[in-house]
Structure 1
Amino acid sequence: MIVSNTQQNTTTKGNFLDMLAALGVRETGIPVGDSKQYQFVNPELGFLGKYQFAEVLLIRLGYYKAKVYFGNGANKNYWRGTWTGKAGITSKSKLLNSPQVQEKAIREAFSVYYQDINYLLQKRKKALNNYLGKQINFRDQGKSKSVKITLSGVLAAAHLKGPDKLVDFLVSGRVTKDPFGTSITSYLEEFGGFNIQLKDFFVPL
């Protein structure tokens, strides 16, 4: 893996809200502005809503409790645990019909991802700022490719595969995919280049 500087590009794909709109379309396959995004349930693995929340994430964010969940004893998101009542969410149905809470939760998720990424990089004596704005060359299925690292791409990729897999890619160029075969690098590229700042999403839990 080679990390190299790139020329500063002043053009962006849009702002933070534009990124969220694009992410909602990518996660659900439903057009921008359609409220059905919030009610979408993945028919195969049970991810919920506009941003396809998983059990493990909503546990981390304090909305949900379960001892057995997808990735920890379950082969999909069954949502058989209990809801904590945070932000008034007491059921799966309540979450699916609460757009404002989903928008709050994705910001909380990005906050968690950002903190986790920095923590995991610090453990490896690295820093996120050392990667932002730089091009990472990697190999995927035997082919040489490259992707520019931006904050928006980093957050989206962490949402796809988790902060640990994102850090693995930054440090070693290891490419991983989600259960549907979507590569972490595809999210780094597709959602890279949006003009976002820490204040756009960083909220206390």
Structure 2
Amino acid sequence: MVRSLVKITVLPFMIGLLSLGNISEKERELTKTEDFSQYSTKGLDLYYTVPLPEETLQDVNPSYFPLAFTGGMYIGFKEALAFKESQGNYFSINTFGYMGKYQFGASTLDLIGIKNTQNFIKNPVLQEQAFLLNTSRNKWVLRRDIKRYSGKWVGGVKITESGILAAAHLAGPGSVKRFLRSGGEIGFSDGFGTSIQSYLKKFSGFDVSFVQAIKRPRLEDLL
């Protein structure tokens, strides 16, 4: 019985070895392992997202992926906005002096307790924290407008909470209030001609329930 079992086990193995001799040169070429040592990222500009501890990184850049892939979550919202602002570059400073991945001005940073702009531009984690703090503040300022206008059409754009928060990042919450309460008659465009309407439309439909409405958010609240 043992001898038979050995024969049964060895026979397929021997057949397999013999069959290797019949593999064509072309087939051997197709089954070769690729040598990846020739590939390198040296010299490329690589920018990485530093998520907050509460976040789960679900995507890298929502501008390249459909909303269904990102799940429409807070991280998708902030990454899409960052790509529009600076292409996700933490070290970007534009011609008007706005800084970082989310293009903050010094006055806005001062509102949330960040005074040292030199440290800010060098610190990706601080930039992510600043974005959350500023969005929390904008959500508090616009809390009644979010409740009143979400789902309605104003100035030819359907209003959503995430669209309002994105527009507030662009223009400030006061400008968004004036736009909504004037029925879209009082608009705003930044130095590059980007309008409130464009942000309301482009960043609509994200789930930003992660963001809490806080009247005076400060950096120490996250520590």
TM exceeds 0.5?
yes
Q: Does 1:167 align with 2:167?
A: no
2:211 maps to which of 197, 200, 203: 200
Deviations 1:67-91 (A, max 9, x none): xxxxxxxxxxxxxxxx3xxxxxxx5
What amino acid sits opposite 1:23 in the alignment?
Answer: L
Given residue 181 of structure 1, which amino acid in structure 2 is its aligned partner? G
Distance across 1 between alignment mates of 2:140 and 2:106? 20
Q: How far is 1:25 from its partner?
A: 0.7
50-59 or 12-21, which moves further after superposition? Answer: 12-21
Residue 130 in 1 paired to residue 148 in 2? yes
- Gap runs ≥5 in structure 1: 1-10, 65-82, 84-90, 122-126, 139-145
**Secondary structure at 1:38's aligned position in 2?**
coil
Q: Which moved more, 1:49-58 or 1:173-182?
A: 173-182
User: What is the TM-score when the length of structure 2 is the normalising length?
Assistant: 0.61
Structure 2 residues not aligned, in runs of 5+: 1-67, 219-223
Equivalent residue letter for 2:103: Q
Higher relative contact order (CA 8 A, sep 6+): 1
User: What is the aligned counterpart of 2:80 among 9, 18, 22?
Assistant: 22
Correspondence 1:151 to 2:138:
no
Aligned-partner residue type, residue 130 of structure 1: R
Deviation at 1:117, TM superposition (A): 2.0
Structure 2: which amino acid aligns with 1:157? A
Match of 1:108 in 2: 133
The CA distance in 2 between the partners of 1:129 and 1:164, in whole Å, is 16
**TM-score (normalizing by structure 1):** 0.66
Return the letter of the residue paired with 2:165: L
**Equivalent residue letter for 1:133:** G
Aligned residue for 2:139, secondary structure, equals helix
Output the CA distance in 1 between the equivalents of 2:213 and 2:122: 24
**Which is greater in Rg?**
2
Whole-angstrom CA distance in 2 between matches of 1:13 and 1:170:
27
TM-aligned CA distance change 1:13 to 1:167, over 3 Å: farther
Q: Percent identity, aligned pairs only?
A: 37
Deviation at 1:111, TM superposition (A): 1.1
Deviation at 1:21, TM superposition (A): 0.8
Alignment match, 2:39: none
Deviation track 1:119-159 (CA, whole Å, cap 9, x = no partner) reads xx6xxxxx4312111222x2xxxxxxx11111111011001
Q: CA deviation at 1:202?
A: 4.6
State the SS of the aligned residue for 2:90. Answer: helix
Question: Is 2:201 aligned against 1:189?
Answer: yes
Q: Establish whether residue 95 from structure 1 lines up as the match of residue 130 from structure 2.
A: no
Would you tell me which structure has more helix in proportion to its own residues? 2
Instruction: Decide whether aligned partners of structure 1 residues 60 and 111 sit closer, same or farther in structure 2, where only a CA change above 3 A counts.
Output: same
Contact (CA 8 Å) 1:150, 1:193: kept in 2 or not? Answer: yes
Q: Which runs of at least 4 in structure 1 moved beyond 4 Å after TM superposition? A: none
RMSD value, Cα:
1.9
Could you tell me how far apart the structure 2 residues matched to 1:13 and 1:168 are? 31
SS at structure 1 position matched to 2:176: helix
Letter in 1 for 2:172: G
